Amino acid sequence: MQPITIKEIKEAVQGKLIQGDPLLRIENITTDSRKVSRGDLFIAIIGDRFDGHRFIEEAAKNGAAAVLTDRVINTNYKLAVIIAEDTTRALQDLAHYYRKQFSNLTVVGITGSAGKTTTKDMTAALLNENFKVLKTDGNYNNHIGLPLTLLQLEGDEDFAILEMGMSSIGEIDLLAKIALPSYGIVTNIGAAHLQNLGSIENVALAKGELINNLPGQGTAILNYDDKLVRQMSADFTGEELLYYGFSEKADLQAFAMEYNTQASKLYFTVKQAAETRRLFLNRPGKHNVYNALAAIALGRKVGLDWEMIQAGLKKIKYTSLRLDIQKSAEGVLIINDTYNANPLSMKAALDVLTNMQGARKIAILGSMLELGDNSREAHLEIGKYLADGDCDLLLAVGQLGAIIAEGAYQAGFSQKNIYKLNNNNEAAKLYQEHKKEGDLVLVKGSRANKMEEIVAAIVDQED
């Protein structure tokens, strides 16, 4: 980040400087005391499990030059100390102030129930062909991660590509007001975070906060094939609305999709106005074509030619645990999609399993969390979806995984090909007992399940 003085920080957060030099310049800001380097500002955030105020001494020991707190502190270290009423809000206010220093910066906000991280990765890769880009690191997409991302701006970036996540109404509204996006991309709407939101309609309302915050000269890029996303256009007051999808009514349309297993390439044709281009991705899945279309729509809008588009698609640096394809020494192909799961992303992953080639196709599936009262029905639906696809063996992990197994059985999937396991260790061990050369194995579940442990166990044992 560019240096910022303690005085500027104090004023941005409407705080009080109770000790230290107001002209002291800060060149890095963190909320993690373990990552503090000499000269940093440490902000003591109060989270669900930890109170950052407990780690002020550790931050000072690691070299912090200043701390931002919500209370008077006693310390033996010579620190600049700023007190604000709420340290989380102070972080957000500071990030908003800092973002406004860069009038030439264009911010792109990306949200949706599934695919937003991959769309962010794709968008950044394409824009990197002709621009300097900052993008959200990993899943820093919430009320703390997004401000920290903005505070990484160095001042010479053309674009900031920011993923915006949420679990309740009002969260994306907050993120958009901090970041001031000119472009908004919405990938899809599905049954995610229903425990807090209650209905898919409320999910759409929450995601639509991004579009509602775009300025008069802003551009919304929406998935035409998703009815709830398409309906967001009714409230859009910006300058331009761009649709993407497989529908002929989309401004950017994809068709003729084909996955080449030997080349590990997904080919598809894109039509925009009178132009058509044949492109490819190095990842499988129709949902990834949707993600790419959103990125392409933005890329074309800001002037990228088709050669730049394809070059960017070849250079995508995907966030880990999202359709990572791994091949074991014994010829087993593993689709590691263990970062998270909701009904939309689970179906997308099962589609990949169906459309790829394998001697046997095996799904190792865990629970989808935060679905509230819809949880049982959602898991049954995934089981039925699996049974209607192309899968030979189901390993269902955990109590909610067992409901997936129940749904598959109800839909006609053979009981002898269903295994219910209590945990990841049991699932890995069982697969080892049944593995065959040429297997294609999908492993997927919500983040809390840590199902990458299954992938690691399979690969380690086979290696």
pLDDT digits (tens, 9 = 90+) for 27-62: 999 999 999 999 999 999 998 888 999 999 999 999
**Residue-level pLDDT at 221:** 98
Shared-domain flag, residues 301 and 330: no
Residue 270 sits in the same domain as residue 374: no
Query: Which DSSP state fits 51?
Result: B
310 and 329 in a single domain? The answer is no
Whole-Å CA distances, 406 to 95, 211, 402, 403: 48, 39, 6, 5
How far, in Å, CA of 112 to CA of 135, rounded? Answer: 17
Q: What pLDDT was estimated at residue 462?
A: 44
Alpha carbon 344 to its chain's center: 14
Domain co-membership, 292 together with 186: yes
pLDDT given for residue 463 in this prediction: 40
Residue at a domain's end among 86, 115, 138: 86
- Residue type at position 253: Q
Per-residue HEC secondary structure of 388-424 comes to HCCCCEEEEEHHHHHHHHHHHHHCCCCHHHEEEECCH
- Token pair, residue 358, equals 């394998």
pLDDT, residue 75, reads: 83
How far apart are the C-alpha atoms of 145 and 158, rounded to whole Å?
20
Residues in CB range of 263: below 8 A, 6 or more apart: none
56 shares its domain with 112 = no
- Asked if residue 96 is part of any domain, the answer here is no
Hey, which residues does 223 pair with through a beta bridge? 244
pLDDT given for residue 138 in this prediction: 83
CATH number of the CATH domain containing 141: 3.40.1190.10
Q: What is the pLDDT of residue 387?
A: 98
Cβ neighbourhood burial of 247 (10 Å; 0-12, 13-18, 19+): middle
Whole-angstrom distance, CA of residue 463 vs CA of residue 456: 10
The range of the structural domain enclosing residue 167 comes to 102-314
Instruction: Indicate the burial class of 113 (C-beta count within 10 angstroms; 0-12, 13-18, 19 or more).
Output: buried
Look at the chain and report how many structural domains it folds into: 3
DSSP state of 22: T
CA nearest to 339, candidates 168, 163, 76: 163
Give the HSE-up count for residue 56: Cα atoms under 13 Å, Cβ half-sphere: 24
Whether the Cβ atoms of residue 99 and residue 175 lie closer than 8 Å to each other? no
- Indicate whether 289 and 333 sit together in one domain: no
**C-alpha span between 237 and 225 (Å, rounded):** 21
- Domain boundary pick from 60, 86, 112: 86
> b/e string for 350-385 if b means 16 or more Cβ within 10 A?
bbbbebbebebbbbbbbbbbbbeebbeebbbbbbbb
In this structure, what is the dihedral angle of CA atoms 220, 226, 230, 232, given to the nearest 10 degrees? -80
Helix axes 398-410, 375-388, angle to 10 degrees: 50
Would you say 9 and 17 are in contact if contact means Cβ atoms under 8 Å apart? no
Indicate whether 92 belongs to any domain.
no
CATH number, residue 350: 3.90.190.20
Ranges in the chain, pLDDT < 50: 462-463
Residues 208 and 229 in one domain: yes
- How far from chain centre, in Å, is Cα 439? 29
Do 346 and 268 share a structural domain? no
Whether residues 166 and 220 share a domain: the answer is yes
- Identity of the residue numbered 83: I
Which domain-ending residue is among 274, 294, 314? Answer: 314
Residue whose C-alpha is closest to residue 313's, from 49, 123, 107: 123
Do residues 280 and 392 both lie within one domain?
no
Same domain membership, residue 138 and residue 46: no
pLDDT 10s digits, 162-217 = 999 998 999 999 999 999 999 999 999 998 888 888 899 999 999 999 999 999 99
3-state secondary structure of 137: coil
Is 101 strand, coil or helix?
A: coil
HEC readout, 257-274: EEEECCCCEEEEEEEECC
Confirm if 146 and 137 have CB atoms less than 8 A apart.
Answer: no
Q: How many CB atoms lie within 10 A of CB 74?
A: 6
Task: Supply the CATH number for residue 18's domain.
Answer: 3.40.1390.10
Would you state the structure tokens that stand for residue 409, as one six-digit string?
A: 């059985």
What's the angle, vertex CA 336, arms to CA 199 and CA 413, rounded to 5? 70
Is residue 265 classed exposed, middle or buried when 0-12, 13-18 and 19+ CB atoms within 10 A define those classes? middle
* Integer angstrom CA distances of residue 155 from 152, 160, 184, 304: 9, 11, 22, 22
* Whether residues 53 and 109 fall in one domain: no
